[in-house]
Structure 1
Amino acid sequence: MLEVRGLAKRFALPAQKDKAGARDPRDHDGWFHAVRNVEFSCAPGEVLGLLGPNGAGKTTTLRLLSTALKADAGSAWVDGVDLLQDPLAARQRIGFLSGSTGLYGRLTARENVEYFGRLHGMSAPYLKRRCDELFELLQMQDYGNKRADQLSTGMKQKCAIARTVVHEPRLVILDEPTTGLDVMSAKILLDFIASYKALRIPLIFSTHHLHEVEKLCDRVCVINRGKTAFHGTLEQLRHLGGSADLYDAFVGVINQRETARER
């Protein structure tokens, strides 16, 4: 179970921007408050979709949970461990896919995955079995021995996914995993995400593709201007947004929060 409460992160503003006056309500007192109060939960076996406009704070939120950034406030608990207070223990429990694959170009696809498995202390027999399993699930057998710098975008992304989960993490976080993929590659990844429900592992992924949310997600969290604007089921989102169409409901929720802020 993942429980996130009161998550906050700010960044220092350039002096000239601060003097020019705030354009965004998150700009004040010389700081940009990228994440101001994000809260959500994700139960074992649930897939949570993280939604929001560009610049809403989604990637910053995921980077905080991954411990790539240090939070200014808040908590995030998984299996009794506060990810924000104990980053070393957190990294043993988390599988995090960032916006870039970050593969080593001179290593083969399999060598990339095996390298990260060894970093997690996996034994050679266990690592071999795990790689065999992942390469079959993600349909990567045909290019396992091909160098990463010779792989297509879809191949690289699937390799990055395998690297992310090779150590069987207790929480999986994916930042826009299907961006730039063709239809077939995207389907393989979406099917892989869906398989995590049977493993009873919480999985969070951010996306701008609401059909992916409709297909996979049990719950959604909508972030706008660094705050949680909505957290609940898809049906609750439709009800609050005033439309059965998920795109219209999402826009409706964002507009409601903007109107409330202006009053």
Structure 2
Amino acid sequence: FLTDPNVLRRIVAAARPSKTDTVLEIGPGRGDLTRHLAQAAGRVFAVELDRRLIPSLQSDLGELPNVHLVRGDALTFPFHRLPPGTAAVANLPYNVATPILMRLVEERARFSRLVLMFQKEVADRIAASPGTKSYGSLTLAVRYAMDAEILFKIAPGAFSPPPKVDSAVVQLIPLRSPRVAARNESFLFAVIRAAFGQRRKTLRNALRSIAGAEALSAAENACRIDLARRGETLSLEEFARLTDFLFERTGRKG
């Protein structure tokens, strides 16, 4: 649990809530950050999956009229019920960071900004450059839809108990329109996931689950992308070009 009051204040400052704003907090834990958010925001929806934490949260946060505690899973929470312009704040555990972030990317129209805390390794993946070890499907999905910035690192001592790794806070601002045009967003993400499913495979082998050999050869020629390359060497723009061709060629619907 994050307990350092200085770090808690920095996270709230990054979220920039006002008394007219709604904040979604994913994983309030013991409620330390929730209390800080409640002082600054109009409403806070705190979504907690761990039923063991609910009684203490209800007791500790019960006197805060603008905090709405919800027992539920962020992977299934109805984000569409939140008002437009909601800010999202979360400390995401390593094992669920990627699926929750991907859901937030898909539901980005609801949010004005996201201020998320990850293990430093995940933060590095979000901000990675092509050709690096950290570059992957998460990098590309975020880049497609959002501006991402690592705001600051957090040392283990800010937590109780202290973890064995550093953490980092990342700010994500949804773009008004995607960074590249893609005919079908879900198909683009499917191609990207396939390309990184087994990083050592060439694109020609990795994308066999997406398209047949003939379509891949045609895409290679039309898009001028060597399919002997690996996914980690392609830019977002190259993935979009390749995906659009395959979508038209195969008639896939994502």
Q: Same fold (TM over 0.5)?
A: no
Between Structure 1 and Structure 2, which shows a larger proportion of helix residues?
2
Between Structure 1 and Structure 2, which shows a larger proportion of strand residues?
1
Higher Rg of the two aligned structures = 2
More relative contact order, 1 or 2 (CA 8 Å, 6+ apart):
1
TM-score (norm 2): 0.30
TM-score (norm 1): 0.29
